[in-house]
């Protein structure tokens, strides 16, 4: 029997990456000349459309919609620290599109939840490294228990148990009452880490014994 799981996963990954890149370029063009209110409205609209596809378990189309959100939020809150040269060259019109105050908090929340949803989409399609990447962007936008939990789950799927434990423990520190019982995830990650270490030691011992024959 031919195992098609890897091929399907690769196809989903390639398609979603292409859609992200195409959508970003398209929306960069469309966003030029738009007002701040237009950008906010469009970002929210694409997030809602992404959520609709997510509920239908159409993760490819959900990712395509979520990627469009970034095109607008990147204009509303440009990354000044990461790209100072580009920011310095922005036109006055572009700088006037930046949000402040309550609008800025709204966009930060939008960015955090959009990245989080993208992380879940990638996780559910078996793309765990991308899931970690998007969860990290969500955390950078706004640190939440949900984002730490999702990154921890993706780290576990990658068998990076040490990093998973760190994320789960930080999530618990944010709310020691632990209503979602993340302690159970910590216990499981530690158990899997011990088993992984044991298997690694056994392989090493077998290698050494074989070398002495």
DSSP-derived 3-state class of residue 179: coil
Band the pLDDT of 27: cuts 50, 70, 90: low
pTM of the model: 0.79
Is the pLDDT assigned to residue 91 strictly greater than 70?
no
Angle in degrees, CA 65, 68, 71, rounded to 5? 165
C-alpha distances out from residue 1 to 6, 12, 125, 126, Å: 14, 21, 22, 21
Q: Which residue has the higher pLDDT, 98 or 137?
A: 137
Longest CA–CA span in the chain (Å) reads: 75
Under CATH, which architecture does the 1-142 domain have? Alpha Horseshoe (1.25)
**Which two three-digit tokens encode residue 25?**
């370029």
Per-residue model confidence as pLDDT tens digits over 41-53: 999 999 999 999 9
Band the pLDDT of 88: cuts 50, 70, 90: very low
Mean pLDDT of 91-108: 76
Per CATH, 1-142 and 143-213 having the same topology is answered yes
- CATH number corresponding to 143-213: 1.25.40
Q: Which residue has the higher pLDDT, 16 or 207?
A: 207
Domain boundaries, the chain: 1-142, 143-213
How many other CB atoms are there within 10 angstroms of residue 183's CB atom? 12
- Identify the helix (H) or strand (E) that includes residue 153: helix 145-157
Per-residue model confidence as pLDDT tens digits over 154-204: 999 999 999 999 999 999 999 999 999 999 999 999 999 999 888 877 777
Is the pLDDT assigned to residue 97 strictly greater than 80?
no
Is the pLDDT assigned to residue 128 strictly greater than 90?
yes
């Amino acid at each position: 029997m031919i195992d098609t799981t890897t091929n399907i996963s690769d196809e989903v990954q390639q398609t979603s990456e292409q859609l992200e890149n195409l959508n970003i370029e398209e929306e960069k063009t469309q966003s030029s000349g738009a007002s701040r209110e237009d950008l906010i409205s469009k970002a929210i609209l694409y997030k809602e459309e992404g959520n609709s596809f997510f509920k239908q378990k159409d993760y490819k189309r959900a990712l395509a919609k979520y990627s469009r959100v970034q095109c607008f939020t990147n204009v509303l809150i440009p990354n000044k620290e990461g790209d100072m040269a580009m920011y310095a060259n922005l036109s006055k019109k572009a700088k006037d599109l930046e949000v402040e105050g309550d609008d800025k908090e709204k966009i930060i929340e939008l960015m955090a939840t959009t990245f989080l949803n993208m992380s879940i989409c990638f996780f559910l399609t078996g793309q765990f490294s991308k899931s970690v990447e998007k969860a990290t962007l969500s955390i950078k936008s706004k640190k939440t228990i949900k984002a730490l939990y999702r990154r921890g789950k993706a780290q576990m799927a990658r068998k990076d148990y040490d990093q998973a434990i760190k994320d789960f423990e930080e999530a618990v520190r944010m709310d020691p009452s632990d209503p979602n019982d993340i302690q159970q995830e910590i216990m499981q990650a530690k158990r899997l880490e011990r088993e992984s270490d044991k298997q690694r030691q056994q392989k090493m011992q077998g290698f050494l014994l074989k070398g002495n024959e």
